[in-house]
A and B are shown apart, each in its own frame.
Chain A
Amino acid sequence: MKKQVPILLAVVASLCPVVGFLLPQPWVDEWMNRRLDEWMVIIASFALVLGVVSVVQVNLHKVRRRSRGWGFSLALLLSLGIMSAFGLFGGQGERADGSLHPFTWVFQFAFSPLQATMFSLLAFYVASASYRAFRVRNVEASLLLVGAVLIMIGRIPLGQAIHPLVPQIAEWIMQFPNTAAQRGIIIGAALGAAAMSIRVMVGIERPYLGKS
């Protein structure tokens, strides 16, 4: 029973979207699509409590043991406590006088800039990854380098200035070899995902039970 019931639930739940996809009845749409999504959100909300408990446990453990980087764990726990207090008791959004509640202020002026900082680091990482990828080590890497240079130059006015064909070559590379390769990967991945779903639906593969 401990195994059969979850497998049965998984099989039924995985068939619901298929039924909802094929049958247009409103009750099917209501139960197979909307309700199921709502239940998932509710279950995920409960799981979030598990997540917060995990965060507190792991970081408290690090602080107690003075593990390497325990200061970061302390900062995380303090931030978690302060933001929770702001969110629960301090209100959100704007006050009547136009000033921001502390939760919104911290979110807008601390969290959002930090997010943007992380995202902007990508530019530097792209540069370092490109440098490594475009080193001429073998034939494949050389082809990659030539293709990349053509596309980069073809997409800026310099390409047109060098020769009118350069932008056209860049466009051709993007439209044909690049699109063909991407579609090949996408078709393979979609079939792989479908086969994986069938395995889950018939209960052959059940990672949700802790069995790989």
Chain B
Amino acid sequence: MRVDRRGSGTIGRRPGRRGAARGALALLAALLAGGGLSGAGAAPAAGSDRENPRPLAATLAVADTPADGGSSLTLTWDGARLAAALAEAHGEAEDPAAAEEAAKEAAEEGVEEGAEEAADEAVEEAADAAETRAAARAGALPAPGAGEVDVERAAAGDTAFARIASVPASAGRFVDEGLERTTTYRYRLTGRGAGGRLLATPPTPPLAPRVNAFRTRRLNALAAMVFMGACVVGLILRARRGGQIYIRRISGLDAIDEAVGRATEMGRKILYIPGIISVNEPQTLASLGILGYVAKLTARYGTELEVPNIDPLTMAAAREIVKQSYMEEGHPEGFREEMVHYITGDQFAYAAAVNGIMVRDRPAANFLLGWFAAESLLLSETGQSIGAIQIAGTAQVTQLPFFVSACDYTMLGEELFAASAYLSRDPLILGSIAGQDVMKAAILAAIVLGVVLSTAGVAGFAAWFTAL
């Protein structure tokens, strides 16, 4: 480690003959370095060491970040060594206050030999320190703290390095993101030694980020996907061959017939609310599956059905499903387009409109199945107040308590997704439900194993379930 020559060695030098003017300048510079007079607008003084920093004893390496889309480079260095080098640079030499004191001494003793050199260096140091502080005040990046280094970058064509981040010297790694694939970049790490003198690692060779073939960090997700897909397809094939697949009783789905029957007996309508998200949401798709079953029942019994929608795409799909159900039941004349209609795209305006329908038309049964947010309680409480039988279902954990407290039957999470299999008893769909259960068993086993291994001090297993 090279010792900063402007440190204690400076104090030991004998002052030169030319003294007063240079000494005064040095004193002024030292005061600037101390921050007393420096400002954000202070111009960088001559003699800045940014172009010729002192070497910092650490090796910086740059490489393409693996498994990304070619927009980042990864810098690595020996964190412990760099931190030690930085501490040494601070420790062996003086701190900025000592440098300031040295400059003052040099100025005061300016009649002796060597004072000119000392004063020059003091001026230089002070100017650097002032420049750093001014830049930190004016710029977006905060000044590096103790034990931190600046990461500096120069793109192809840049004449100078620019600071992009401050990181702990001991970190050992930094990922520079948001880069252009067509440009090469050079990097260096800089720190401040005694008196604010700039220290820097040698610049890295120019390198451009590359596009990688595969996101290897997502291999675990792919493995889970393949495993679950294999389970689902395998059990579907088994069901197709006639294998028996058991599905437990879901009271919310059993109650659908009861609700439709009640509405038929009372001669009132059924209100079906398919959530507030479009058809790209699996819960909406599951809800549309149940709507088909409900529409078949209403077609069979001649019960009035109304499906108010918040999303026009869902409305279009729901209208087709209801129409198809009426046709399959042999009552195409019973279907009217206004049975499935659009209200508005706004959440609370939709809730107000549906509440209005409930209060005015007093449906005998309300179905609230799909993705819901804050309107869940507004809708279900109004339905409760009019005495309708209510069947709800959502996978939104935050809304489930509201449905449980305000509805007669509530399908919790996965029960909503199992509805189409439960209602249709189609072996293909039942097979997929069984596949889902195999995956659930695997996850439970992994949780138990993870708890046991972590308790025993084996930490690696848990890492498989995070980004690799």
Contact = CB atoms under 8 A, between A and B. Distances in A.
Contact of B360 (A51, A57, A69): A69
Most interface-central of A196, A197, A198, A211 (chain B CB within 10 A): A196
A192 B414 contact: yes
Given A125-B378, A187-B440, A204-B429, A195 B349 contact: no
Given A130-B405, A185-B413, A212 B288 contact: yes
Given A47-B316, A187-B443, A198-B229, A40 B280 contact: yes
B177 interface: no
B383 to A, nearest CB: 11
Interface stretch (A88-96, A98-106, A115-123, A159-167): A115-123
B interface, size bucket: 35 or more
B356 A69 contact: yes
Interface stretch (B150-158, B336-344, B454-462): B336-344
A12 interface: no
A208 B284 CA distance: 11
Contacts of A22: 214-215, 218, 221-222
A212 B341 contact: no
A44 interface: yes
A157 interface: no
B208 interface: no
B256 to A, nearest CB: 13
A191 to B, nearest CB: 5
Interface in A184-200: 185-189, 191-200
B444 to A, nearest CB: 9
Interface in B383-426: 384, 395, 397, 400, 402, 404-406, 412-414, 416-418, 420, 424
B417 A193 contact: yes
Interface string B358-402: 001100000000000010011011001000000000010100101
Contacts of B290: 212
Contacts of A52: 342
B47 interface: no
B294 to A, nearest CB: 9
Nearest to A26: B69
A58 interface: yes
B465 interface: no
Most interface-central of B67, B278, B424, B440 (chain A CB within 10 A): B440
A171 B436 CA distance: 33
Contact of B348 (A72, A118, A188, A199): A118
A2 interface: no
Contact of B405 (A18, A129, A187, A197): A129
Given A188-B413, A196-B282, A211 B292 contact: yes
A192 B413 contact: yes
Given A22-B215, A23-B214, A125-B378, A50 B436 contact: no
Nearest to B352: A118
Contact of B417 (A55, A58, A133, A192): A192
A135 B213 CA distance: 60
Contacts of A132: 384, 405-406
A29 B215 CA distance: 12
Contacts of B384: 129, 132
B315 A54 contact: yes
A16 to B, nearest CB: 12
Contacts of B214: 22-24
A188 B292 CA distance: 24
A17 B258 CA distance: 40
Interface stretch (B100-108, B160-168, B263-271, B317-325): B317-325
B402 A210 contact: no
Contacts of A61: 338
B218 A205 contact: no
B188 to A, nearest CB: 28
Nearest to A118: B348
Contact of A129 (B315, B325, B374, B377): B377
A21 B215 CA distance: 8
Contact of A212 (B68, B278, B293, B435): B293
B439 A191 contact: yes
Contact of A24 (B215, B229, B402): B215
A127 to B, nearest CB: 10
Interface string A1-41: 00000000000000000100111111001000000000010
A21 B221 contact: yes
B285 interface: yes
Nearest to A69: B360
B213 A129 contact: no
A139 interface: no
Interface string B58-69: 000000000111
A141 to B, nearest CB: 10
Contacts of A122: 374, 377-378
4 tightest A-B CB contacts, nearest first: A212-B292, A210-B320, A192-B417, A189-B413
22 contacts: A24-B69, A47-B312, A51-B309, A55-B342, A57-B341, A58-B338, A121-B378, A129-B402, A132-B384, A189-B416, A189-B417, A191-B436, A192-B282, A195-B435, A195-B439, A207-B285, A207-B288, A210-B320, A211-B292, A212-B289, A212-B291, A212-B324
Given A22-B214, A122-B374, A207-B317, 9 more contacts: A22-B215, A25-B69, A40-B280, A49-B312, A185-B413, A192-B395, A195-B436, A211-B324, A212-B324
